[in-house]
Structure formats: C-alpha cells, structure tokens
Amino acid sequence: MKRRDKINYYLDIAETVLKRGTCLRRNYGAIIVKNDEIISTGYTGAPRGRKNCIDLAYCMRDKLNIPRGQMYEKCRSVHAEMNACLSAARRDMIGSTLYLVGRDAKTKELIANANSCAMCKRIIINSGIESVIIRDAEDDYRITHVQEWISNDDSLTEKMGY
C-alpha cells in the first residue's frame, strides 16, 4: 500500500470540510496548517444566524445570472478561506499554508481553475498565510506563494473575475 503524500492528505481533509458547505452553486473547503497541525477549517456558508441558500432553496446569484467571479456582494455565503481565517488567530496563521478544494454543488465535479477571490486574497495576505495550495484533480494541485499576490496586485487591473 502506497502512503498518501502530505499535500494530498491535507487536500483530502479540506475536501471533507467542503461537504458541510451550503451553497447551491459551488462549495469550497479550506484548512489552515502550520507545523503539521491543522489550526483552522472553513467552508462556504451564510453568516451565523442567517439562513443558508440550501434552506432558502435558491441562490440569488443564480436568479440574477451572475457569472462566476463577479458581484460577490450578491452572495449570501462567507467563503471557505474567510471562515478559516476568522476561526484562527493571526499569530497562529503567520507562516502557515491554506489548503483549498472546490466542487460544483450540482455536478460534484472539482472546480476548474479554482482560485481565491480578490477579497479572500486580501484576507489571506493580511492573515500572514505563506502559501495556498489548490486542488486541480484528485492527485494534482497548484501551489501559490502569497507573496506573488502581493507583488502582482490584481486589484490594480480592470478584470478581476476568477
């Protein structure tokens, strides 16, 4: 039996976390790991106390035909990365890694070219997270060093859709 590599092990855990997501479009799971310890998890869902899209049985962004990566202010959900960052102290996140997995809520397929939105990138930058690892396929992933987001400031470009 071949032992699972550590990155895919953590991505598998993030994928389990996404199953708690309540979005009718896309669900993400995120975990923050530092020194081989999980310090926080997060999934896509409405703020505490508010009804989730699965409870309302509709998605406002779907109703308005809003494309992926646009007008997140119309979304009820707090993103997985944000929820993971909100659940951890900054002192614990400095130098950590965030693992992220997304699946389409209807097809259950992995999200092609998944990436953090502009707001999540800002939160990740300020939290002190060092790198973000995103699953592309069952055993494939991309590693982004957060310093790249700082150096290549996409908030200065016209198009910011993901």
Check if 81 is active-site.
Answer: yes
3-state secondary structure of 32: strand
d(CA 67, CA 87): 29
d(CA 64, CA 51): 19
Return contacts of 139-143, CB within 8 angstroms, 24+ apart: 139/8, 141/7, 141/8, 141/11
Among the listed residues 15, 37, 81, 158, the single catalytic one is: 81
d(CA 116, CA 120): 6
CA angle, 16 then 22 then 24, to 5° = 110
Q: Give yes or no for a contact between 123 and 82, defined as CB atoms under 8 angstroms apart.
A: yes
Return the active site residues: 81
